[in-house]
Amino acid sequence: MFTRTLFRSLLATAAGLMIAGSAAAAPQPLKLEVFNPGANGMFPVSSELITGSTDAIVIDAQFDRANAGQLLKKIQDSGKKLTTIYISHGDPDYYFGLEVLKEAYPDAKIVAPAPVIAHIKATMQDKLAFWGPKLGTNAPTQLIVPEPLQGNTLTLEGRKLEVIGLDGASPDRTFVWIPSLKAVVGGVLVVGNEHVWTADTQTLASRQQWIKMLDKISSLHPKIVVPGHFSAGAPQTIESVRFTKDYLKTYEAETVKAKDSAALIDAMKKHYPNLGGVSSLELGAKVSKGEMKW
């Protein structure tokens, strides 16, 4: 009897230790925080801080030194080790702030897809020449080019973050899917409460491809969608995907009808009277109507 009781006790203890060990081994759920300078930045561009139990990944590095510094403070306040900085797009508001982060975290990997790196290399000196005087002391003193992303995933404490769209028609216009959070972040595909920047998608085919990528986002049924650019009040949900798609369709229809950029701008303002980023509409309309090269 004593032997049987002891055996059962040992079994119970072993089972308890196994359960406790499994709980300890289970990775902590990832946490997502968003930094967007809003009206305090030249562009309301989003950066994301994704953290696990000890480590962190940052997606996109801000446009100027001041807002990169605000992002840095958020990273430092998390108490996590920054292992990777991922740059999702080749426009300067996504990577000009890299030197601030690299100064604080010199061992963090800085990576981007090959098409994004090609975009950065082809345009960075011209972008710095244009934006440097406007940014003044907030301009970067050193431009940092990311290393190529290997494959199409990032890894944080064993959890995958997937870069979607690298095999598509516009591999420099992708997004990041975080399955464990059902979250979409990064890139320029989704806009919130702002006029949509169209100057870089000058053809019908490119805008149709954009809509296909928005449909791809919708097909994932995300719970969280962080727009790449957004103004105050923009939903960080699928609603911003729907808004962007509707805007592009409206823009396409009005572009065909408008005799010039002034007419196109007026028509879009009537459809969307309360949106921020009017300068994006004005420039994009001039490009679309052939009045300006971009």
How confident is the model over 233-277, as pLDDT tens digits?
999 999 999 999 999 999 999 999 999 999 999 999 999 999 999
Kindly report the CATH number assigned to the domain that includes residue 69. Answer: 3.60.15.10
Would you say the C-alpha torsion 218, 212, 155, 89 has a positive or negative sign? negative
Q: Residue 1: inside a domain, yes or no? A: no
**Boundaries of domain holding 197:** 189-294
Q: Residue 15: inside a domain, yes or no? A: no
Give pTM, 2 decimals.
0.89
Q: Residue 211: inside a domain, yes or no? A: yes
Distance (Å, whole) CA 294 – CA 287: 7
At which of 155, 187, 219 does a domain end?
A: 187
Residues of the chain predicted below pLDDT 50 = 1-2, 6-7, 10-11, 14-15, 17-24
Q: Residue 14: inside a domain, yes or no? A: no
Same domain, 116 and 194: no
At which of 159, 187, 215 does a domain end?
A: 187
Same domain, 45 and 128: yes
pLDDT at site 28: 83
